[in-house]
Structure 1
């Protein structure tokens, strides 16, 4: 039997702690500890030495973000999963937590906890288990690079390239757990004159993707937009698929558009597989580049392996940098990865291919 996962549950609600205790005790492979606020959590982190911490955002005495900052400053080994409300404000706070070093997040149950907790039970269990296996990421260097990039853009002005040039290619990105921080290492590297649009299927709720797109737009030379309906696919743009739906490429009246469609029966949304399949239906595979990054499961692996077989280019994130080496590992296993690279080298590789005309 594998070693039990040491889990610290931090929440100021006694009812929430009770229900989470019941969920994890029923599994039989968790050793639990509890804290009512961030200060207690810091004390427990020292004495209990958890593998994973579930951390509520809004708590008295010391809130979740402040607690997370102190955990990261101490170099704590625990992986943190935030418990966040599905509001725009909650999305902004959660994205900040992911930037600081949290591995993932789960939505906080709305309404009556006892009635809604079962809805998030499978997600909670899978994300905590994945966090226990996740590789912590160094965030100090990343934050410094992003800050430097923001200062650079502010100093020279964000000059966007003119849209509307004929499309000669597109980059398709699939990413899940650990994605926001990983994308912050890749997308800001692409220059304003990068010749291909980039379409991103990041597994994320709909209340988060708009906030995330606006955050990325502040640090990218290319314009970053959330895809919440049909819009022309154009050079000079990065398109983030709206959460809880699927992002696809379509051809209408002789033009290629990027669109948001109701989610299909897939397990993950926006679906990377559906994005890549749709792209191969409207553009020659030889003009497409697939990039599969950190995440649980196998979304994107089958479609990108087919893309590679049909003449497209593909990159899988390496185990060295992946927070969760699930999706890229599956692409590698299927023989569909032309290159296997750490996240910090993906952006420069995309530029190199663009300079050589793919």
Structure 2
């Protein structure tokens, strides 16, 4: 059956472009001009995915999203301008349960949407397979009988409830992906090294689709006196990462900041890789530092998790590294994290029951690269446990 897409946007031009794009892909499409219309169409059309504009009259996208996630949880992709205001609203939407976002080229809709047509289609297809909290299986879901509320509901808390505890699944057999490996051969640092402030390791986190909400659950669970620095590669455009770092800083005991230049990595801090670039780990004068560099054409996703982890392996012994692979599509970081575990380091893969998209963690597990598989609600506690005692 074709995917059913509900396009919600007050711009006739934006609706025209998206409807044409989705119909060309064979999708079944319905439109709504406002958030209120969307809430009426939702139980009637029962879409697989909603694309939802943030700025609309009568009922804005955030208010409409709160209704959707409460009344009929449905994978939702926000349509956002690449501005600071648009970034803040988009991050709030992701925390509320939106799967992903579509950037408006130049901040407004134009013919240049054709330049990101493939990205839009891919995001919608991924969203259709995403795990949404509270979503019933389509074939078992009963039609809604009550009309949607006509008054805006209170927006839900940005911090999601902790995931239920699950048993660790047995390790699946190793399976290497078909085709060439994107990463260069991974060099491993010697087992002894020191920094100017003494020896310590790094916690490296890789994440993509569904990541902002996962990080908002995990990072606040790490204490201000965490003995190792944390570095995060979240696939995100350049316009969003500064706002995202500020949002996390307000939520976390740790200091959270966007990487802006070559900086020393210090315990008690979280560094968010800047969007539109890659981040590597190096040593300068005995100190571990973060280094910003242009997006490498050798890698598909950016900021690249694979490049972050492989660069860390060149300057830090694997036993002094912890790598965490969270929700996202693709395999970014799986090769380097598997090499890290093989060299004696420790890795965590987010479990399928909490990952919005299980692609990245699944690829790490398939490579026998996960030391342990955990739901998102248990990851911070396990990191604390590992760092309280010698490896």
Q: Which TM-score applies when normalising by structure 2?
A: 0.83
Matches within 5 A, 1:313-352: 313-352=346-385
**Aligned-partner Cα distance in 1 for 2:110–2:258:** 34
How far off is 1:140 after superposition? Answer: 6.0
- Report what 1:301 is aligned to: 334
How far off its partner does 1:125 sit?
0.6
Distance in 1 (alpha carbons) for counterparts of 2:126 and 2:381: 29
- State the aligned residue count: 338
CA–CA separation in structure 1 for the residues paired with 2:269 and 2:16? 46
Given that 1:11 and 1:37 are in contact with CA atoms closer than 8 Å, whether structure 2 keeps it comes out as: yes
Q: Which runs of 5+ in 2 are unaligned?
A: 135-154, 163-194
Contact map agreement 1:201 1:270 (CA 8 A) in 2: yes
Q: For 1:244-259, what aligned pairs fall within 5 Å after superposition? A: 244-259=276-291
2:210 and 2:33 map into 1 onto residues whose CA distance is 26
Candidates 15, 35, 39, aligned match of 1:38: 35
Distance 2:296 2:374 in 1: 30
Q: Could you tell me which residue of structure 2 aligns to residue 160 of structure 1? A: none
Q: Distance in 1 between matches of 2:332 and 2:233?
A: 10
Task: Flag structure 1 segments of 5+ consecutive residues without an equivalent.
Answer: 147-162
- Partner residue, 2:203: 171
Q: 1:140 to 1:14 in 2, by over 3 A?
A: closer
Give the 3-state SS of the residue equivalent to 2:106 in structure 1: coil
1:113, CA displacement in angstroms? Answer: 3.8
User: C-alpha distance in 2, partners of 1:109/1:207?
Assistant: 12
Partner of 1:182: 214
RMSD between aligned residues: 1.8
Query: Any idea what SS the aligned residue of 1:218 has?
Result: helix
Question: What residue number does 2:137 align with?
Answer: none
The whole-number CA distance in structure 2 between the counterparts of 1:120 and 1:342 is 33
Structure 2: distance between partners of 1:164 and 1:196: 14
2:159 match: secondary structure: helix
Partner of 2:189: none
User: Is the contact between residue 160 and residue 213 of structure 2 (CA under 8 Å) also seen in structure 1?
Assistant: no
* Correspondence 1:143 to 2:151: no
Other-structure match for 1:270: 303
Greater relative contact order: 1 or 2 (C-alpha under 8 angstroms, separation 6 or more)?
A: 2
Shift of 1:285: 1.1
Higher helix share: 1
Give the equivalent residue in structure 2 for 1:117: 113
Equivalent in the alignment of 1:229? 261
Moved more, 255-264 or 317-326: 255-264
Deviations 1:299-318 (A, max 9, x none): 01111011111111110000
Q: Of residues 99, 104, 108 in structure 2, which corresponds to 1:103?
A: 99
Among 53, 66, 73, the alignment partner of 1:56 is 53
